[in-house]
Structure 1
Amino acid sequence: MLKSRLITAFILIPVVIAALFLLPPVGFALVTLAVCMLAAWEWGQLAGLATRSQRIWLSILCGLLLALMMFTIPDYHPFASAAIVKYALGASLAWWAVALVLVLFYPRSAAFWRHSCTLRLLFGILTIMPFFWGMLTLRQYHYSVNHFTGAWWLLYVMLLVWGADSGAYLFGRALGKHKLAPKVSPGKTWEGLIGGLVTSAVISWLFGKYAPLDALPLSLLACSVIAALASVLGDLTESMFKREAGIKDSGHLIPGHGGILDRIDSLTAAVPVFACLMLLIFRAI
């Protein structure tokens, strides 16, 4: 299992970085749209959709919704200033605040949504749609001035999340004794969380020192810490829904890594939260 995970990671990471820097905005949007449609397909299982046809329709409807939203924004209009994007990113803050409460009070909190397919589908929309707009908004940032500025910012967020995840795994394996959320994800520990945040802080410092980023230092630090914490919440939230659905992985698309949601669960929280804080609230870049 570990061997297949490493091989897949060594293949996927260069592909993701190449997509960030080499694809034009339209191509990047289409790839992100495809990822979100696959995520919606997998979320259908978490929402309780029993048949393959229902999940296919959910994936198609998700793609159509996101595509129609894109068509409402004029060409070359900055996404961050579009009202529909502001609402989507703002909704992400509200949703992840609610998700935090659901995780903290699980399994009692599940009594409110366990038997409601509609609510679980709504939770899926609030997870996938802001992620889509966070990805596109960061990638398009200052594109008319420098085609790669947004790619650097997206890579920064991804490295923060990957650092938090890897650091949590390594520190948790070596030092973990105190469970973080045993009823949601028994393997996660407070030691792992702290180790992940330390790893993210080192990555943030190194990236800020050597990468071409231009942001207010204190605002960047605050947004980075919140984004790293949000990534942990994204992971825990998906684990909570998988536990209720009685499944280990959201899918089997990626060898050794499970499904698309298993790979982007942390990013679905970190990317829109970071974009909303940096662009709309702190206006740090």
Structure 2
Amino acid sequence: MLKHRIITAVWLIPLVMGAIFFFPVEYFSWALVAVFLIAAKEWGRIIDKRCNITQWSFTLTIGILLVALNLFVPSDEVWFKGHLHPIFLAIMVIGACWWAISLLFILSYPKSSTLWAKSHMFKSMFGQLTLIPCFTALVALKALSSPADPYYGGSLVFLVMLTVWATDSGAYFAGKTLGKHKLMPNVSPAKTVEGLIGGLLTTMLVVAVVMLLSPEQELGLVIVVTLFVALVSAVGDLSESMFKRVADIKDSGTILPGHGGGLDRIDSLTAALPVFTLIYIAFWM
């Protein structure tokens, strides 16, 4: 398993970094459609793991919505005079509200599952609320690049990814070595309070990198934003775990050997990216 994880990471990380930093935003947005179609197909298994028609109909719905976004909001219109396109902004605000609701579902699980566990409609809606705001956030951040600073948008995307990776890695190792108190045993039995604290502490390495490269930033604000985004990413992770538990699925898919499905790799990012983008608009635009 570890060998497969390493091999997958060796080819996947350069591919992701190349797309983030070197793809023009118009190509980047269309490449994302393919990635999110994979995630959508995997979410279809959460809706109904036995029915291929349900899985493909949800995938088709997500595909139509993402293509429509790319066509109706071209990459050069995502930002205008420092303001995010109202469609993108509305989607991300709705997404942020969804993550607040999802947190309530997580905290009250399994009781909350009685409201949606048997409803294909609700689970489809939750899938759209999970995936589409993440897509718009990725495109919006990437579109902040300019001829004067072609890597700026990619750097912001990478910063969020780095925060999520630091949180996940710190949580994994702290949980393995120190974990004694279960965080949300009904949702994800392997996660511990010590792991979450370890993950949050690890994100201070990201803060150090930001302050080193951009010392004019306000340290307190960077720390608060980093910790908040890390906590939100944990909600994204727990949310997918909750939905997979109800669906009786261990991994969302098998497309990434040693890592599971594409959805398993982006579950934390689905929450972290739209929330970070809204924070960026509020404090840095």
Aligned match of 1:125: 128
1:150-201 CA-to-partner distances (Å, cap 9, x unmatched) read 0111111100000100100000000000100000001000110010011112
Change (3 A) 1:75 1:192: closer
Runs (5+) with no aligned partner, structure 2: none
Q: TM-score, normalised by structure 1?
A: 0.94
For the residue of structure 1 that corresponds to 2:89, the secondary structure is helix
- Give the unaligned 5+ runs of structure 1: none
Query: What is the distance in 1 between the residues matched to 2:100 and 2:129?
Result: 12
Comparing 199-208 and 165-174, the one that deviates more: 199-208
The aligned amino acid for 1:181 is M
Q: RMSD between aligned alpha carbons?
A: 1.7
Q: Distance in 2 between matches of 1:149 and 1:11?
A: 24
Asked if 2 retains the 8 angstrom alpha-carbon contact of 1:157 and 1:270, the reply is yes
Residue 42 of structure 1 corresponds to 42
After superposition, the C-alpha distances for 1:105-147 in whole angstroms (9 at most, x for unaligned) are 1000101111111011100000000000010111111424321
Query: Could you give the per-residue CA deviations for residues 8-33 of structure 1, whole angstroms, max 9, x where no partner exists?
Result: 12221121111111111121111211
Deviations 1:40-64 (A, max 9, x none): 1111111126322332232122111
Cα distance in 1, alignment partners of residues 14 and 43 from structure 2: 26
Question: Which residue in 2 is equivalent to 1:178?
Answer: 181
Q: CA deviation at 1:81?
A: 1.8
3-state SS in 1 of match to 2:283: coil
Q: What TM-score results when the alignment is normalised by the length of structure 2?
A: 0.94
The reply to whether residue 29 of structure 1 matches residue 18 of structure 2 is no
| Structure-2 residue corresponding to 1:235 | 237
Q: Deviations over 1:76-100 (max 9, x none)?
A: 2234521101111101210000010
Q: Distance in 2 between matches of 1:257 and 1:207?
A: 28
Identity %: 40
DSSP-derived class of the 1:188 partner: strand
Q: Check conservation: 2:145, 2:152, Cα contact below 8 A.
A: yes
Deviation at 1:216, TM superposition (A): 4.8
Residue 5 in structure 1 maps to residue 9 in structure 2 = no
1:72 CA displacement: 2.0
When residues 257 and 75 of structure 1 are mapped into structure 2, their CA distance, relative to the original with a 3 A threshold, is: closer
